[in-house]
Amino acid sequence: ERRLFHSQFALADQKEGMAAFLEKRKPTFKHR
């Protein structure tokens, strides 16, 4: 369960990272 939770955060951050890169802006990661 915990592993799934962490992988969901990683996936969200990965998407944000890609979106930020494509939009030429700094990514705002939710997970720290």
Contact 16, 28 (CB under 8 A): yes
- Residues sharing a CB contact under 8 Å with residue 21, sequence separation 6 or more, in sequence order: 27
pLDDT reported for residue 15: 95
Distance CA 32, CA 27 (A): 12
pLDDT reported for residue 30: 80
Q: Which spans in the chain are helix H?
A: 2-22
- pLDDT 10s digits, 1-32: 889 888 989 999 999 999 999 999 999 988 76
pLDDT reported for residue 6: 86
- pTM of this structure: 0.69
